[in-house]
């Protein structure tokens, strides 16, 4: 399997995670659609701790993106150690020795990466029919199965996980419009000193979960 080709013209503008395809903006993202599941009170509680989880999540995600890109992207792992390779490598080294190394090191050192072929990392995708875009964390191939995966970080005292099938299904639905199909979805849970890979969720499970959320989202937005 080869590294997935970027969707021509699709860009994400930060901050704010706003997506454009050439000159066409997308009104929402997969994450935006999923917010329909949460009450205003729940969102307020989540945002009240953003100063804790946002830097942790952003840093750990960036470290994984750099690691996978350096390991698997054909333009960088062909043996030609370009200035770009060196720059990304230096950034990764800095992150690995920074404030979130307890989350990053077990994630990057996991033997899982020796058993798979990664074909995408931090991949923006979109669907013009639904007018939805988003970026998923990675996709890989193992035993001829294509898996779309998402990384979550949790704190030292956190032991709970939660259902991510709708989010994974959302990215699968977007990718299908570009001819990219995945057999399974998976969540990677990173916490200090430990990384856990969830069981594989079937494509059907993920798409059904997304369809339920998408139907609710459409119903609410038809009423406003």
In a domain, 25, yes or no: yes
> What is the dihedral angle through the alpha carbons of 178, 181, 184, 185, rounded to the nearest 10 degrees?
0
160 is a domain residue: yes
Asked if the structure places residue 35 within a domain, the reply is: yes
Which pLDDT value is given to residue 209?
A: 98
CB 205, CB 121: distance < 8 Å:
no
Domain of residue 169, CATH code: 3.90.320
Q: What pTM does this model have?
A: 0.91
Nearest to 63 by CA among 29, 30, 102, 31: 102
d(CA 41, CA 156): 24
Domain that holds residue 25: 10-43+52-222
Within 13 Å, how many C-alpha atoms sit on residue 34's CB side? 16
Is residue 5 assigned to a domain?
no
What pLDDT was estimated at residue 162? 81
Q: Which residues contact 9 (CB under 8 A, 6 or more apart)?
A: 21, 22
* Residues whose CB falls within 8 Å of the CB of residue 171, separated by 6 or more in sequence, listed in order: 30, 125, 134, 136, 148, 150
For residue 97, is it within any domain?
Answer: yes
Query: What is the total count of domains within the chain?
Result: 1
Q: How far is CA 45 from CA 33, 41, 156, 189, in A?
A: 18, 6, 19, 21
Q: How far is CA 48 from CA 42, 51, 68, 219, in A?
A: 10, 8, 32, 28
How far is the C-alpha of 207 from the C-alpha of 166, rounded, in Å?
A: 7
Cα–Cα distance, 82 to 53 (Å, whole number): 34
pLDDT tens string, the chain, 224 residues long: the values are 689 999 999 999 887 789 999 989 999 999 999 999 876 666 667 676 667 768 999 999 999 999 999 999 876 655 556 788 889 999 999 999 999 999 999 999 999 999 999 999 999 999 999 999 999 999 999 999 999 999 999 987 666 678 899 999 999 999 999 999 999 999 999 999 999 999 999 999 999 999 999 999 999 886 54
Beta strands in the chain (DSSP E): 10-13, 18-21, 24-25, 28-29, 117-127, 132-142, 145-153, 184-191, 194-197, 201-202
């Amino acid at each position: 399997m080869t590294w997935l080709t970027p969707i021509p013209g699709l860009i994400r503008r930060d901050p704010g995670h706003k997506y454009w395809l050439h000159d066409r903006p997308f009104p929402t993202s997969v994450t935006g659609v999923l917010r329909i599941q949460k009450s205003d009170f729940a969102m307020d509680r989540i945002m009240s701790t953003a100063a804790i989880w946002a830097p942790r999540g952003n840093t750990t995600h960036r470290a994984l993106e750099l690691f996978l890109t350096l390991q698997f992207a054909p333009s960088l792992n062909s043996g030609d150690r370009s200035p770009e390779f060196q720059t990304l490598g230096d950034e990764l080294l800095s992150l690995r020795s920074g404030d979130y190394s307890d989350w990053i090191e077990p994630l990057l050192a996991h033997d899982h990466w020796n058993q798979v072929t990664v074909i995408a990392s931090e991949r923006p995708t979109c669907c013009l029919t639904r007018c939805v875009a988003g970026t998923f964390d990675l996709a890989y191939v193992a035993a001829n199965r294509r898996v779309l995966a998402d990384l979550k970080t949790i704190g030292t005292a956190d032991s709970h996980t939660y259902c991510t099938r709708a989010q994974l299904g959302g990215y699968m639905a977007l990718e299908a419009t570009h001819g990219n199909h995945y057999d399974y979805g998976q969540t990677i849970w990173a916490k200090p000193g430990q990384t856990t890979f969830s069981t594989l969720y079937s494509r059907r499970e993920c798409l059904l979960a997304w369809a339920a959320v998408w139907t609710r989202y459409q119903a609410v937005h038809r009423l406003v």
